[in-house]
Amino acid sequence: MQTLHRSDLSASITVFLIAVPLSLGIALATGAPLQSGLVAAAVGGIVAGLLGGAPLQVSGAATSLVVVTAELVQRYGWRSTCAITVLAGLAQLALSALRVARAALAISPAIVHGMLAGIGASIAIGQLHVILGGSAQSSALANVGALPHQLAATSPATLGIGALTAAVLVSWPRLPGRGRAGRALRAVPAPLAAVAAATAAGLALTVPRVDLPSWSAPLLPRLPEGPVLGLLAAIVTVTLVASMESLLSAVALDKLQAEQPGTRAGPVRLDRELLGQGASNVVSGLLGGLPVAGGAIRGTANIRAGAATRYATVLHGVWVVLCASLLAGVLDLIPLAALAVLVLLVGVKMVSFAHIRHVRRHREFPVYAATIGGVVLLGVLQGVVAGIVVAVITSLRRLTRTRITVSQEAGGYRVRARGQLTFLAVPRLTRAFALVPDGAHAVVELDGSFMDHAAYEALQSWCNRHRARGGWAMLGDRTGRTVSEPASAHACRPWTPWRNHHCTQPSAATVTAPAGNQLLGGVSNFQRNTAPLVRDELARLAREGQRPTQLFLTCADSRLVTSMITSSGPGDLFTVRNIGNLMPPPGSDGSCDSVAAAVEYAVDVLKVGSITVCGHSGCGAMQALLGSDHPPGAQTPLARWLRHGQPSLERLARGGPGLTDRAVTDDLERLSLANVVQQLEHLLAHPCVARRYAEGKLQLQGMYFHVAEAQAYVLDHATGTFSAVHPEVLDAV
């Protein structure tokens, strides 16, 4: 049995301050009674918190069900919507008993992201009417059609309240100030600060506000009247969407929880989580609350705030109950436009451009587009079905569409097979092989991710027969990798070391070439495999010129590959590298002009918006500074250069920065961290940097890369410590 941890109390308060305005906003967006959002938050926190299988996930009013719930309220009325919520909860309990929760994760991510994006777009369009002083329509199409008339009848007061709320939401996390007051302000959740500011500004205006009725026993849910199929479709939709949102968020939060020090919660159990969500929906529906689901926004805030056990989630629900009981008069002062902006921005975040790029890269954009279009035009369940249909058609098309060509090249023949090799492609494959004469050199180039047994047998049989008749045959993919070799030897993900890369080894034609041809071999491999992929982008950059947004100052160490650790490409980074990632201050000797000139060019000519100084573990320059490898009066170029690192040694003596995620291992690492901070100070001493920084047009940030851990750490200017950069959490809410 878990015990309450001291950090659970502060985490529960943080999540409570986020959940109250968000719950009211979701209720407003659905057209349900406003107190139904608070009921869902309280029930989700207490019931799902106690029974669920994701201890640190915070459940509440389901953002992904806003569009569905609004339609149900319009069609069946509020009491019938509560009955559908209860029945959906019972369906979730049945699915939990059948232990099918993990099967929900088999749905294509393109469908999931498309569904969330469609819901987010519908939410944003609907809440725009509330911000303009009107009310949302029953569907996304109706909202779009009514928008011109709503724009003509805009209320300046509600629009001003909405603009103020959006401004505070966006700017609050970026508040300046490194002192105690600045840190205290940034500790206040942005949604609470935005709603508080809008409420204060709205006291002098006549605008629609929250109207919470006094608490009374809820009316029992009533089964809706209408076709049975329509009722079943509504129950299935609520069950499917709420379950998917909860399970996907639980999986994402499980990864975040594993990276968070001090967490005492156990691993995520998906079937138990589905049980907790089902029980929550049954209770919420009976008490007159909205449908409940787990959410990544609230869960992430809970973990980041230091939650250690499930009691943080439960306490958040208790605070919601106390707030609804004791502070109803305060909540009645909140303008509806402020809540609408809060929900609108949540909807906008559900449309992730990172996900769009991801599905395009995997050639699943038709699935994504069909899902988002179906959700916006027809409804959530219809959109998901449309996405599944397109996904099945796309998979069958990929499985059956194979293009096989034979071309004669200098010295032999090349057989290209593009697509999936199944038994359906075997006749075309054998006809292509028949065009290759006996005794010829041949390369079979495979460009697909699947080959069934029939195609494999046909390929191997021809290869063996061709070799037996005096021919030369190599089976390879589009990178030239021989199939008979281990895949790990040459899989360039994200790159292949020269010592393992066959393309950098001298061929028979170049065996007499001088040693050191690894570089030319790598260039040759680039021309063959990479250049065709980047040629269009490089041609665009050649026409338009470079427009990098970042200056990256780092060490010349060969283990520090800037493009790899930043996932950047041509035109992204303006990079300056030197021994020890040093930035000599103004007035240094002329040998430092090249570094200062690069910084001046990046700041004044290229107008970069950010400068990053990146140190790393095991830095030879820092080791030399610690060990005093050079006599004090040494005049070698390296010794003269390393003298610019002396201020870093002095900073280390005063006490260097630390790491928030683990202890600093030794003085070498401590000096590397102190050196990053010191070089940032040197940067600010340069007039061009100081000017742009004072204007607010330039950001300075420090980074430390631990080579053995393959882990990047970023400097937190407020605390003076470096924190580990973690993979992004799926923002499913």
Of 459, 484, 509, the one marking the end of a domain is 484
Please give the pLDDT value at position 688: 94
Q: What are phi and psi of 479, to 5 degrees?
A: -90, 0
Residue 526 lies in a domain: no
Q: Which residues, other chains included, contact 520 with Cβ-Cβ below 8 Å and sequence gap of 6+?
A: none
CATH code of residue 456:
3.30.750.24
Does residue 22 sit in the same domain as residue 88?
Answer: yes
| Percentage of the chain lying above the pLDDT 70 cut | 88
Does residue 594 sit in the same domain as residue 690?
Answer: yes
Does residue 475 sit in the same domain as residue 572?
Answer: no
Q: Read off the DSSP letter of residue 212.
A: P
**pLDDT surpassing 90 at residue 411:** no
Report the amino acid identity of residue 710.
Answer: A
Of 484, 515, 534, the one marking the end of a domain is 484
C-beta separation of 206 from 220 below 8 A:
no
State how far the alpha carbon of 711 is from the alpha carbons of 126, 144, 700, in Å.
Answer: 42, 46, 20
Does residue 410 sit in the same domain as residue 334?
Answer: no
**pLDDT surpassing 60 at residue 730:** no
What is the chain's mean pLDDT, rounded? 83
Q: How many CA atoms lie within 13 A of 540 on its CB side?
A: 6
Q: Give the DSSP H/E element, type plus range, for residue 419.
A: strand 412-419
Does residue 286 sit in the same domain as residue 410?
Answer: no
Does residue 551 sit in the same domain as residue 690?
Answer: yes
And the tokens for 202?
Answer: 């709205």
3-class SS of residue 712: strand
578: left (phi > 0), else alpha (psi -120 to 50), else beta? beta
Please give the pLDDT value at position 83: 94
| Residue ranges making up the domain that contains 112 | 6-348
Residue 522 lies in a domain: no
Please give the pLDDT value at position 597: 93
Does residue 340 sit in the same domain as residue 425?
Answer: no
Q: How confident is the model at residue 732 (pLDDT cuts 50, 70, 90)?
A: very low
Rounded to whole angstroms, how far apart are CA atoms 549 and 693?
15
Residue 179 lies in a domain: yes
Rounded to whole angstroms, how far apart are CA atoms 610 and 211?
46
C-beta separation of 403 from 418 below 8 A:
yes
Q: Answer with the residue of higher pLDDT: 507 or 100.
A: 100
Rg of the chain (C-alpha set)? 31
pLDDT, average across residues 244-261: 76
**pLDDT surpassing 50 at residue 431:** yes
Rounded to whole angstroms, how far apart are CA atoms 547 and 534?
17
Give the DSSP per-residue string, 544-569: H----SEEEEEE--TT--HHHHTT--
**pLDDT surpassing 50 at residue 733:** no
pLDDT, average across residues 471-478: 65
Does residue 582 sit in the same domain as residue 469?
Answer: no
Residue 613 lies in a domain: yes
**pLDDT surpassing 90 at residue 29:** no
Residue 383 lies in a domain: no
CATH code of residue 584:
3.40.1050.10
Does residue 443 sit in the same domain as residue 334?
Answer: no
Judge residue 1's burial from the number of C-beta atoms within 10 Å of its C-beta, 0-12 exposed, 13-18 middle, 19 or more buried: exposed
Please give the pLDDT value at position 266: 66
Q: For residue range 163-179, what is the model confidence (pLDDT) as tens digits?
A: 999 999 888 877 776 66
Does residue 143 sit in the same domain as residue 274?
Answer: yes
pLDDT, average across residues 176-194: 76
Bridge partner residues of 724 (DSSP): 713
**Domains in the chain, number:** 3
Of 469, 484, 499, the one marking the end of a domain is 484
Please give the pLDDT value at position 343: 82
Give the DSSP per-residue string, 176-196: ---SHHHHHHHHS-HHHHHHH
Rounded to whole angstroms, how far apart are CA atoms 691 and 603?
10
Does residue 132 sit in the same domain as residue 280?
Answer: yes
Q: For residue range 337-380, what is the model confidence (pLDDT) as tens digits?
A: 888 888 888 888 888 787 788 788 777 889 989 999 988 888 77
**Mapped to the 3 state alphabet, what secondary structure does 574-606 carry?**
EEEEECCCCCCCCCCCHHHHHHHHHHHHHHHHC
Does residue 478 sit in the same domain as residue 573?
Answer: no
Residue 369 lies in a domain: no
And the tokens for 246?
Answer: 């909860």
Give the DSSP per-residue string, 642-676: HGGGHHHHHHHHHH---BSSS---SHHHHHHHHHH
Residue 115 lies in a domain: yes
C-beta separation of 367 from 118 below 8 A:
no
Please give the pLDDT value at position 13: 85
Rounded to whole angstroms, how far apart are CA atoms 558 and 555?
9
- pTM comes to 0.55
Question: How many helices (H) and strands (E) in the chain?
Answer: 31, 12
Residue 537 lies in a domain: no
Lowest pLDDT segment from 15-19, 157-161, 251-255, 716-720: 251-255
